[in-house]
Chain A
Amino acid sequence: MNEALRTAIAKRKEILTGIKDELIDRLQLDYQVDDIDDDTFLFGGGLSLNSIDAMEIIIGMQSRFGVMLPEGDIAAMRTINTLADFVQSQA
């Protein structure tokens, strides 16, 4: 693994961990960070969140990363990874 790849992975890991930590804390999820896979769905299956939780996610992303998810941007709230994509796209 070359240095550029190692750096990219480290950066992604940091964001993913931050998102999981924020969701666990804000939504009081009964999980540890390691319990949540990066491609875990937020709604429906996976974490089985609901529309009220969606608002908390928006607030959490703003609080933790300083990014503003447009209300109703469902595509960015599909999985942990899509949230990370959004955070990285705003950096």
Chain B
Amino acid sequence: MANWSSKITGYYSKDESAGKRDGCITPALYENLETEYRLVRRGIGLGDYSYYGKIKVAGEGALDLINRMSLADISRVPINRMMSSFVLNEDGSVLCEIYVANYADYYLVLSEGAGPQQLLARLQAAAEQQGEGTTVMDITESQALFGLDGPFAWELLKMFMGAGVIGIRYLEVVTGNELEGIPFTLYRTGKTGEYGYLLQTEAANAVALWQALLQKGQDFHLNPVGYQTIDRCKLENRFINMHQEGVLAKHVLELNTRVMISQDKDDYVGCKAVEAAIQNGIERRLIGLVLADAAAAQPDPVAAGDSVYCETEKIGEIANAGYSYTLQQSIALAFIKVDYAYVGLDYQVQGEAGRYQVRTVSGPFQPRLSSIAACKSAHRKTATLTRCNGGQYRHGHDFFLEPPYCRHHRHRPYLSDRRHGGGSIAKYPPGAQRLQRDPFL
């Protein structure tokens, strides 16, 4: 499959210079990283995930076929649920990350990290070996996939799907939905630490659904976000980025994925390498670092590939790095020798412009699941946005997101437009409620 453009890329008249992922031309950013980041953290970010590979596997042998490719045991996925897993190479490194959705009649594999044609080729080859009874079909370009991420994502969906949206469990699949007559399937997912959903529709309906979401989401400050924004949120929340640490991992167990392995699962690609690693141990594993050094207060002081030292001994390499707008400091992930990969230790990173002091920290970096969940720790009762000024809520004053129901978080600088020269007005539907629950429960 050559490079292709999603319908949304075409809608914004973007070309390859805007960005490309897994062979799909799709914008890395629509505006700028900080603006889009704040959208995800306090409103809703609308992302185009159409670049995900989408492969339908049907027939009697479908489960065995996918399980032969998957690290996790797919037989544990109930109907209308999905599971996150990895497809490995024989040496135990990762080809791609997958979601496998069980539609009863077939499985849909959503992949990220490798061009869909690579996974397709593997599945087709395995299907041929298996003989008749299993069909593998690539529907990547005929289906669009959008993401809604942010503390208000569920409220937007509630407007046209009803209050039952909040009952949808993490990794649940809900079919038969419509927005303005456009059918879509909803997946409860999310890798940003906020409420997250994927919406799948026919590619022919992609632009219409995108426009309808933009229109419906106006009151929630919904705007498009590119994949770089989602990547930064993933980094803060320690979700694996298949285009950074995922591709740099020499072995899947370096990514802290041990609990994903099923002891009673049949053979799968990479199984021998995984068993050997369990038996003999791995050399390094991924751990979070924060750059506490004042000298690191510059854009991107460290980058993937930079070396990590304990005094004079090289103990690892940076795998991913970026600035956390929430923590207001540079953060990084590094593959560190397992004997040194513990939290609360001080090491050094040799960046391009100098050597910086770093401290190992627990994952995730982002201390809050969402502003909603953060409110939970301070309050016990359901929070309701209090209307002021005729149903309008003012950023940067005591109304938007935090107060009046969460006075504990007034000090959060990233939530206050006032400190960033803002002060715009946001409208919310009268009586809109914010839930106080963990997005993953």
A44 touches B259 (CB 8 A): no
Across the interface, A39 reaches (CB within 8 A) one of B84, B256, B374, namely B256
B342 within 8 A of A: yes
A38 within 8 A of B: yes
A72 within 8 A of B: yes
B380 within 8 A of A: yes
B438 touches A74 (CB 8 A): yes
Across the interface, B259 reaches (CB within 8 A) one of A8, A31, A74, namely A31
Q: How large is the interface on B (under 10, 10 to 19, 20 to 34, 35 or more residues)?
A: 35 or more
B391 within 8 A of A: no
Across the interface, B345 reaches (CB within 8 A) one of A8, A44, A50, A78, namely A8
Contact with A along B192-221 (1 / 0, CB 8 A): 000000000000000000000000000000
B285 within 8 A of A: yes
Residues of A within 8 A of B362 (CB): 38-39, 78-79, 81-82, 84-85
Alpha-carbon distance A37/B238, docked complex (angstroms): 14
Across the interface, A38 reaches (CB within 8 A) one of B340, B343, B380, namely B343
Q: Please judge, given known A-B contacts A36-B259, A40-B259, A44-B170, whether A75 and B376 are in contact too, CB under 8 Å.
A: no
Alpha-carbon distance A1/B362, docked complex (angstroms): 21
Contact with A along B18-60 (1 / 0, CB 8 A): 0000000000000000000000000000000000000000000
A39 touches B440 (CB 8 A): no
Q: How far is the CB of B312 from chain A (nearest CB, A)?
A: 11
Across the interface, B342 reaches (CB within 8 A) one of A2, A9, A50, namely A9
Q: For chain B residues 371-406, which have a beta carbon within 8 Å of chain A?
A: 373-374, 376-377, 380
Q: Is the interface of B mostly helix, strand, loop or mixed?
A: loop
A65 within 8 A of B: no
Residues of A within 8 A of B343 (CB): 12, 38, 81, 84-85
Contact with B along A64-80 (1 / 0, CB 8 A): 00000010111100110
A88 within 8 A of B: yes
Chain B residue nearest in CB terms to A73: B377
Across the interface, B441 reaches (CB within 8 A) one of A1, A2, A43, A70, namely A43
A26 within 8 A of B: no
Residues of B within 8 A of A8 (CB): 342, 344-345
Residues of A within 8 A of B339 (CB): 1, 9
B310 touches A5 (CB 8 A): yes
B342 touches A38 (CB 8 A): yes
Q: Total number of A-B contacts with CB less than 8 angstroms? A: 94
Alpha-carbon distance A85/B339, docked complex (angstroms): 19
A3 within 8 A of B: no
B367 within 8 A of A: yes
Across the interface, B438 reaches (CB within 8 A) one of A31, A35, A39, A51, namely A51
B183 within 8 A of A: no
Residues of A within 8 A of B285 (CB): 37
Q: For chain B residues 242-288, which have a beta carbon within 8 Å of chain A?
A: 256-259, 261, 285-288
Q: For chain B residues 338-357, which have a beta carbon within 8 Å of chain A?
A: 339-340, 342-345
B132 within 8 A of A: no
Residues of B within 8 A of A88 (CB): 344
Contact with B along A1-40 (1 / 0, CB 8 A): 1100100110011000000000000000001001111111
B259 touches A47 (CB 8 A): yes
A75 touches B377 (CB 8 A): yes
Residues of B within 8 A of A43 (CB): 438, 440-441
A9 touches B345 (CB 8 A): yes
B364 within 8 A of A: yes
B311 within 8 A of A: yes
A37 touches B377 (CB 8 A): no
B368 within 8 A of A: yes
Q: For chain B residues 311-367, which have a beta carbon within 8 Å of chain A?
A: 311, 313, 339-340, 342-345, 362-364, 367
B344 touches A35 (CB 8 A): no
Contact with B along A36-70 (1 / 0, CB 8 A): 11111101111100110000000000000000001
10 A-B pairs within 8 Å (CB atoms) are namely A1-B310, A1-B340, A9-B345, A12-B342, A35-B258, A37-B257, A37-B258, A37-B285, A39-B286, A73-B377
Apart from A1-B339, A8-B345, A37-B285, what 16 extra A-B contacts exist at CB < 8 Å? A2-B311, A8-B344, A9-B339, A35-B261, A36-B258, A38-B343, A39-B286, A39-B288, A41-B440, A43-B441, A44-B440, A45-B440, A47-B259, A79-B362, A82-B363, A88-B344
Listed from nearest, the 8 A-B pairs whose CB atoms lie closest are: A44-B440, A81-B362, A37-B256, A39-B363, A43-B440, A39-B256, A12-B342, A75-B367
